[in-house]
Chains A and B, each alone.
Chain A
Amino acid sequence: MNGKALPYLLLMPATLFLCVFFLYPFVLVAFEAVTRDGAFTFDNFRTMAGSWKFPATVRNTLLLAAIVVPIQLAMALLMASIVSRLETGRSAALYIFAIPLGISDLAAGLIWLAIFDQSGFLNTLLSGLGIVDRPIMFLGYQSKLTIFIAVALAEIWRASAIMMVILVAGMGLIPKEYYEAAEVFGAGPWKRFVRITLPLLRPSLQTAIILRVILAFEVFAVVAALGGTNLPVLMGETYNWQFTLQDRNVAAASALLILAISIGFTLFFLRVLRVPKEARI
């Protein structure tokens, strides 16, 4: 076999697959979003934006990402620091911290439903402590704030693990000598963290943040399990347009909006957290 053709042959299946099932549907969804009955139009976007739920949908999605991602980042940094410093029980801690990585968002929603439901464990705890005498309805349609808190907690619980694993891997790449040198010059743990770990961790931080922000805009099943339709988010509305309202074109427009927001934030974080070539390790 010709050696020059071999890499292309090996890449061909994956490339063809991505063309058919990634690029092609992407073009289709873009096309469906800007047409109706074959004619070019922006009506689908107007219909989407004109829906009474739309402002709340966008606000909920962005607010959720804005609250959840920074907390996740802090938790992931804490977990990663602990894992890299532990001497005994390191792999046990790593496994436990990584468990949510394998748990779907739907399952995570159901897990937190067991806690926040009216007959759930939080109410049992509160009444056991004598704080409330009757179970509170945390997830009713009138308690948007507690639904929001429950969703945020479930998301923080579920998705810190992804960031943690990326950051642990990144910390493993930082040469030990830097820390030893800093220690000799009298830098405390906090100073070592801020002056060495954080700057050298920037590539991993960038990956972790971008991945998490994109996933945060896709929040869907956690909300469906905990809030039903009481806390509308973008992905859930897209699902509604497709199913409940049976309008493929508006669903496509909604999908494009999620895509645009995702790309916008990806470019933003690529720019803000860019790593100069000469600073890479």
Chain B
Amino acid sequence: MSAVAEAPVTAATADARKAGDWLLVATAILLSVWVLLPIYLLIVNALSSPDEVTSFPKRFFPSFDFGSLSFFINFAGVARALWNSVLVATLTMILSIGFGAPAGYALSRFDFPGKGAFRFLVLMTRAFPLPLLALPLAVMFIRTGLDDTAIGLALVHTTLALPFAVLITFSLFSGIPVELEEVAWTLGCTRWQAFRKVILPLALPGIAASAVFAFTISWNEVFAAAVLTIENRTLTAFLLQSLGESPLYLKFAGGAALVVPALIFIFAVRKYLFAMWGIANR
């Protein structure tokens, strides 16, 4: 709200405004606690010994016993699952930016017949429960030898991440004035040189953010990962398939292993959250 009040502010409205500010801050703090407290409790469990996790009543502070975490790390298959998760997510990131960024650039800079159809194709993917595509692809992958491989799963995850990559890079490039490119052309650059020397450096942080976002999508995906992997499970698929029989402290340590990178990812892309979700939707 504007700091300079045009109308004379009476003492009463000033008081009301002050009360409103307090209410605002109090609600913000309350909502922050609502978001952070459950994560904190999971971390407490992950940083407690296995006995403490299953004991009752619990302490609300971690004992910093690494029993649960070391059990988790040494549990058969966990290290491999972690590695698979990283591998699949990295491949997804490369594929979705590699395919998505050129498309985003084309949408932002050119007008051509078929543009509407392409936009529709991309938007349509958002209205479909995409993990379900893993069902028919399982058969196709067995035929082509892609079943149970990191690249096979990464291809499905790219289907999830690609629409976002296109929309994010579209809004990124749209935010860079086309005049900058035109100046470079008149100064003798080719289209490619102008792109590489002028546009790319400006767009790079945003592209990096959308890459991180693609990584997060893959890192977090459960259904397709569980359907398409048997030996080479990702961490989410591994945890899902061992939910029934694994002890509580394994679940909580695994949950923490999923959450902590997510916190870092969101922190890394926080400046670009709007380009991803807000403006890109128009």
Residues of A within 8 A of B270 (CB): 91, 94-95, 98
Q: Is the CB of B38 within 8 A of A29?
A: no
| A104 to B225 alpha-carbon distance, docked (Å) | 13
Tell me which of A38-46, A48-56, A65-73, A77-85 binds B: A77-85
| Interface SS of B by simple majority | helix
Q: Is the CB of B106 within 8 A of A11?
A: yes
Q: Is the CB of A103 within 8 A of B28?
A: no
Q: Is the CB of A104 within 8 A of B106?
A: no
| A263 to B244 alpha-carbon distance, docked (Å) | 33
As a 0/1 sequence over residues 231 to 256 of chain B, the CB contacts with chain A under 8 angstroms (1 = contact) are 00000100110011000100110110
In the complex, A141 has a CB within 8 A of chain B: no
Q: Is the CB of A214 within 8 A of B129?
A: yes
| A160 to B133 alpha-carbon distance, docked (Å) | 26
Return the contact of B102 from the options A10, A135, A165 (Cβ within 8 A).
Answer: A10
Return the contact of A15 from the options B39, B121, B133 (Cβ within 8 A).
Answer: B121
| A118 to B56 alpha-carbon distance, docked (Å) | 9
Count of inter-chain pairs, beta carbons less than 8 A: 284
Residues of A within 8 A of B176 (CB): none
Also in contact, A121 and B31, with CB within 8 A (given A7-B112, A168-B278, A218-B131) = no
Q: Shortest Cβ distance from B105 into chain A, in angstroms?
A: 6
Contacting B at CB under 8 A, from A201-252, are 203-204, 207, 210-211, 214, 217-218, 220-221, 224-225, 228, 235, 238-239, 242-243, 248, 251-252
Q: Is the CB of A123 within 8 A of B155?
A: no
In the complex, A111 has a CB within 8 A of chain B: yes
In the complex, B114 has a CB within 8 A of chain A: yes
Chain A residue total in the interface (Cβ 8 A):
99
In the complex, B12 has a CB within 8 A of chain A: no
Q: Give the interface centre of A25, A91, A115, A179 by most chain B CB atoms within 10 Å.
A: A25
Return the contact of A10 from the options B103, B221, B255 (Cβ within 8 A).
Answer: B103
Residues of A within 8 A of B57 (CB): 123-124, 127-128
Q: Shortest Cβ distance from B189 into chain A, in angstroms?
A: 14
In the complex, A14 has a CB within 8 A of chain B: yes
Q: Is the CB of B158 within 8 A of A111?
A: no
Residues of B within 8 A of A224 (CB): 240, 243
| A235 to B131 alpha-carbon distance, docked (Å) | 10
Also in contact, A235 and B35, with CB within 8 A (given A110-B251, A169-B279) = no
Return the contact of B99 from the options A17, A79, A89 (Cβ within 8 A).
Answer: A17
Q: Is the CB of A252 within 8 A of B129?
A: no
| A11 to B140 alpha-carbon distance, docked (Å) | 25
Contacting A at CB under 8 A, from B13-52, are 20, 24-25, 27-28, 31-32, 34-36, 38-39, 41-42, 44-45
| A165 to B57 alpha-carbon distance, docked (Å) | 38
Also in contact, A32 and B255, with CB within 8 A (given A13-B103, A17-B99, A184-B7) = no
Also in contact, A22 and B133, with CB within 8 A (given A157-B38, A266-B127) = yes
Q: Is the CB of B219 within 8 A of A104?
A: yes
Q: Is the CB of B262 within 8 A of A13?
A: no
| A131 to B202 alpha-carbon distance, docked (Å) | 59
Q: Shortest Cβ distance from B219 into chain A, in angstroms?
A: 7
| A105 to B131 alpha-carbon distance, docked (Å) | 13
Return the contact of A114 from the options B34, B56, B139, B252 (Cβ within 8 A).
Answer: B252
Return the contact of B133 from the options A21, A128, A239 (Cβ within 8 A).
Answer: A21
Q: Is the CB of A169 within 8 A of B277?
A: yes
Question: Please, could you name 21 A-B residue pairs with CB atoms under 8 Å apart, sorted by A?
Answer: A11-B106, A13-B102, A17-B99, A32-B136, A75-B31, A82-B28, A93-B28, A94-B270, A102-B266, A103-B262, A104-B220, A110-B251, A119-B55, A121-B58, A165-B278, A168-B274, A217-B129, A220-B223, A242-B227, A252-B136, A262-B128
Give chain A's interface residues, CB within 8 Å of chain B.
Answer: 1, 4, 6-8, 10-11, 13-15, 17-18, 21-22, 25-26, 28-29, 32, 75, 78-79, 82, 85-86, 89, 91, 93-107, 110-115, 117-121, 123-124, 127-128, 135, 157, 162, 165-166, 168-170, 172-173, 179-180, 183-184, 189, 203-204, 207, 210-211, 214, 217-218, 220-221, 224-225, 228, 235, 238-239, 242-243, 248, 251-252, 255, 258-259, 262-263, 266
Given A22-B128, A221-B236, 17 extra CB contacts under 8 A: A15-B118, A17-B162, A21-B159, A25-B140, A29-B132, A29-B136, A86-B24, A97-B32, A111-B259, A113-B252, A124-B57, A169-B278, A221-B222, A225-B251, A235-B223, A243-B227, A255-B135
- Counting from the closest, the 6 A-B pairs by CB-CB distance are A169-B278, A110-B255, A104-B220, A102-B262, A28-B136, A10-B106
